[in-house]
Each structure stands twice: as structure tokens, then as C-alpha cells.
Homo-oligomer: A and B are copies of this chain.
Amino acid sequence: MMSDTFAVPYYAVIFTSLRTSQDAENYEQAAQRMLERVREQPGFLGVESARGGDGFGITVSYWSSEAAILAWREHPEHREIRELGRSTWYRHCTTRVSKVERNYRYST
């Protein structure tokens, strides 16, 4: 899934993770539910995600403000799923919060 670009500045949360091989069905369901929830959040702009056959994935979500990112971080359902991610689904995960200052798009 490829997102639009947005008027700068905006925020990007870069989430990288290495999946364990455990619990694939629950993982897929939870990922789908989180995608539905995140789209409902105030200040959410878009999300992009890719995971290779080696289990390494990158998800980038885009936000209009840092306050919106913090509110999503504290969302009860998101907190619960995040704990399951750390305990069961991910071997490692990293979150980086960044401010997008320039963007370029190219389409054929």
C-alpha cells in the first residue's frame, strides 16, 4: 500500500520489526484491526507497510502533529496489542518519530 505525500511539515513514525514465526493467525487479525483503528485517529494522514519473506518489516505512519502521535500511543487497544507484539510476535522492534521536511514523488 502506497500513501500520498502531504504538505510539509508533518510527522512520520517509522516502525521496524522482525517477526517471530509464532501465532500468525492472531497476528494478522490484530494487524488488520490496528489498521482500522489508526485510520480513525484525529491527525492520522496515512500509512505504508512492507514485509519481506525474511520476516523483517517496515511500517511508516504519517501524522499532522506530535500530539496526535502521542494520543495514538496511549490508545487502550493499541497499548494492549503493542504488549502482545513485544511478548509474542516480534523478536525486535524499533520506533522512530521524525519530522518530514521535504518530499518528492515520481510516477511513470
- A side interface size, CB within 8 A: 39
SS class, residues of chain A in contact with chain B: strand
B101 touches A95 (CB 8 A): no
Contact among B50, B97, B98 for A51, CB-based, below 8 A: B50
Say yes or no: is A44 at the interface (Cβ < 8 Å to chain B).
no
* CB neighbours of A3 from chain B (8 A): 16, 94
Q: Is A76 an interface residue (CB 8 A)?
A: no
Q: Contacting A48 at CB < 8 Å: which of B5, B16, B91, B104?
A: B16
Interface residues of A (CB under 8 A from B): 1-3, 5, 12, 14, 16, 18, 48-53, 56-58, 60, 86-87, 90-108
